[in-house]
């Protein structure tokens, strides 16, 4: 190829990218992960100014905008797939930049080959992305093998966000907002924040396999929900906290008949001193078969299975503005399915084990079996305040509590 032809091709390429930049232009006041527009009326929860993510100040960073208007298979690691400041990017995405996928009807698979090529499954060919703030535009569909974000994540309406592994990392207080109107579902999400940093999820989120809050805080924001999977145990590590805000819900996609719904070595909180509950937060748990049901012709589950296991080193607390009306509510999982046909839950009740420190002022127990609340020290009940009981328990209040049976298998050695 002669020099003149090479120069011409380069010039055409630059012109094309400039035109794409113009097509993808967006208003400076458009809400995004890197520009949240917290003061825009009606856009954020009423208590937004009390949140950690509102108070967090992030310095401006380079902004990468996806360059393709149509369906595309390409690596996130290729600078040619990005625009920066309206020009072709010279460097690909990293954990120090903000990433923006503009509104549009297009699909991006971030791998190097289309799904199914060379014998690989679809998810094996999806790519990985590291960034700070991530915005996924209205109408777009993205497929990630994994993503690692140290900043905010915002999934806009009518988008489709498919992830195998997701990592919320770093020392910033951030949000992960889902406006799709349906679940953002990971297989294996992990929170790896520094000890005092948090990520607050807004909207509907969930995991198909295991959720691991290894360090830092995972906050389920007001009127938001997290649904855990039924295949693996969900775990809050020694340095981790799971916090439910007003109207928040924790549940499972389907009943988890064996092992733990949630295994807590760190903290489980409902509200905080700065943001106390103003209405009930819901913690819906699975019933456990404990060998009463069969799976593949064999007894399924055993007596060491609990909906919630609060380990001896863990802590659970409720912070409520009015503990008679705004409570942490423990009850039985109900189907999330949209067909309005509830499963048969007769005789299927909840068991939990509270072995750590419990500071409870405003709590309701419903759908519990006789002896369904196992305590390391039964005397701790005398320290609780504003304790309520629903209409669907198997017995009166005193029959619901018993000494811990000493069966808590499947403890993960990492957390001992």
Q: How many CB atoms lie within 10 A of CB 337?
A: 11
Contacts 24+ apart (CB under 8 A), 197-200: 197/52, 197/170, 197/171, 197/172, 197/173, 198/52, 198/53, 198/173, 198/174, 198/241, 198/243, 199/168, 199/173, 199/174, 199/175, 200/51, 200/52, 200/53, 200/173, 200/174, 200/175, 200/176, 200/245
Burial zone of 287 (CB within 10 Å; 0-12 exposed, 13-18 middle, 19+ buried): buried
Q: Look at the alpha carbons of 49, 54, 55, 59 in this order and tell me if their dihedral is positive or negative.
A: negative
Going from N- to C-terminal start, the domains of the chain cover 58-170, 183-416
- Residues 117-126 as b or e (16 or more Cβ within 10 Å = b): eeeeeebebb
Instruction: Give the pLDDT of residue 188.
Output: 85
What pLDDT tens digit does each residue of the chain (416 aa) get? 454 444 433 444 444 444 444 445 555 678 999 999 999 999 999 999 999 999 999 899 999 999 888 877 667 778 888 999 888 999 988 889 999 999 988 888 765 444 444 444 555 556 678 899 999 999 888 877 788 999 999 999 988 887 778 899 999 999 999 998 887 877 889 999 999 999 999 999 988 888 999 999 999 999 999 998 777 889 999 999 999 999 999 998 877 777 889 999 999 999 999 999 999 999 999 888 877 776 666 676 777 889 999 999 999 999 999 999 999 999 998 654 444 455 565 668 899 999 999 999 999 999 999 999 999 998 999 999 999 999 999 999 999 999 997 765 444 433 33
State if pTM tops 0.75: yes
Q: Are 332 and 375 in contact (CB under 8 A)?
A: no
């Amino acid at each position: 190829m002669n020099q003149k032809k090479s120069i011409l091709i380069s010039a055409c390429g630059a012109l094309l990218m400039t035109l794409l930049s113009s097509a993808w232009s967006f208003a400076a006041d458009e809400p995004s992960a890197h520009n949240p527009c917290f003061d825009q009326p009606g856009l954020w929860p009423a208590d937004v100014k009390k949140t950690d993510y509102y108070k967090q100040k992030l310095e401006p960073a380079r902004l990468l905008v996806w360059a393709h208007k149509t369906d595309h298979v390409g690596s996130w690691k290729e600078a040619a797939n990005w625009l920066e400041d309206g020009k072709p990017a010279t460097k690909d995405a990293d954990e120090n930049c903000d990433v923006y996928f503009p509104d549009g009807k297009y699909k991006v698979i971030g791998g190097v080959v289309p799904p199914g090529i060379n014998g690989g499954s679809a998810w094996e060919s999806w790519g990985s992305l590291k960034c700070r703030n991530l915005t996924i535009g209205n109408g777009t569909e993205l497929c990630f093998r994994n993503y690692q974000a140290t900043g905010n994540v915002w999934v806009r309406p009518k988008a489709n966000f498919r992830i195998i592994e997701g990592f919320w990392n770093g020392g910033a207080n951030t949000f992960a907002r889902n406006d799709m109107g349906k679940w953002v579902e990971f297989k294996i999400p992990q929170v790896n924040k520094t000890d005092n940093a948090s990520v607050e999820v807004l909207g509907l989120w969930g995991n198909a396999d295991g959720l691991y809050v290894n360090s830092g805080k995972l906050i389920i924001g007001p009127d938001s929900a997290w649904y855990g999977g039924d295949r693996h145990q969900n775990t809050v590590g020694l340095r981790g906290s799971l916090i439910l805000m007003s109207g928040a819900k924790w549940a499972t996609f389907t009943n988890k008949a064996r092992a733990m719904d949630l295994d807590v070595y760190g903290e489980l909180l409902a509200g905080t001193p700065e943001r106390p509950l103003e209405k009930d937060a819901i913690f819906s748990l699975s019933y456990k078969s404990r060998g009463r049901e069969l799976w593949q012709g064999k007894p399924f589950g055993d007596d060491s299975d609990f909906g919630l296991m609060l380990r001896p080193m863990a802590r659970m607390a409720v912070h409520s503005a009015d503990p008679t009306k705004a409570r942490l509510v423990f009850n039985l999982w109900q189907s999330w399915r949209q067909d309005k046909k509830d499963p048969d839950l007769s005789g299927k009740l909840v068991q939990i084990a509270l072995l750590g420190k419990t500071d409870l002022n405003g709590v309701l127990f419903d759908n519990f079996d006789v002896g369904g609340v196992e305590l390391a020290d039964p005397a701790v009940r005398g320290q609780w305040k504003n304790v309520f009981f629903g209409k669907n328990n198997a017995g009166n209040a005193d029959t619901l509590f018993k000494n811990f049976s000493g069966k808590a298998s499947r403890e993960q050695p990492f957390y001992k």
